[in-house]
Amino acid sequence: MHVRRMTGGLAAVVTMSLALLGGQATAAPSEEVARSAAARVLTYDASGSAEFRSAVDRGAAIWNESVDAVELRPVASGQRANIRVLADNGWPRALPGSLGNGTVYIGRQAVNQGYNTVRISSHELGHILGLPDRKPGPCSSLMSGSAAGVACTNPYPNAAEKAEVEDDFARVAAGRPVPAPRAVLAGD
């Protein structure tokens, strides 16, 4: 018992001495800090996205390049996805459940009108990540959606949109509530 106390005390003295002599003493990061620094992994199932599969994958990759708090990955076989992505003949829309969970529809109606499929995918995934539509808005705002016009092909979130996603996921990681996402239906 005395040996353990003496060894522990000696280790503390050596650590403090190194700090005082210019060495660097560092504390191990807390578990909470480590958890909040790690990205929350969300899986998506694009098997029902038909001809839009590559646009969905690119939209997910854009979010992965844009934010640190969350990472979108294709779902592994036999697992349940956080996000389902489906193609249909209607207007694109998102039906969020909770932050990071829900269903996205890549609607052919907008594609047939000339809207960019990667922008649509990235925009609708943005709803699942908690972002609302921001209409009217410029092309530089991903969440301006169709209000930016057919000529707009920008699939990237702007700084404010990135920050909002980062903040929402940081709040969830810290156990603080975030506003519930609302369904984003055609025409919203």
The three-point CA angle 167-94-152 to 5° equals: 85
Tell me which of 32, 65, 71, 124 is the catalytic residue: 124
Cα-only R_g, the chain: 23
> What counts of helices (H) and strands (E) characterise the chain?
6, 5
Residues 6+ apart with CB under 8 A from 50: 87
Question: Who contacts 185 (Cβ-Cβ below 8 Å, separation ≥6)?
Answer: 93
| Token output for 88 | 């249909």
Establish whether 124 is a catalytic residue. Answer: yes
Distance CA 167, CA 76 (A): 28
Annotated catalytic sites, by residue? 124
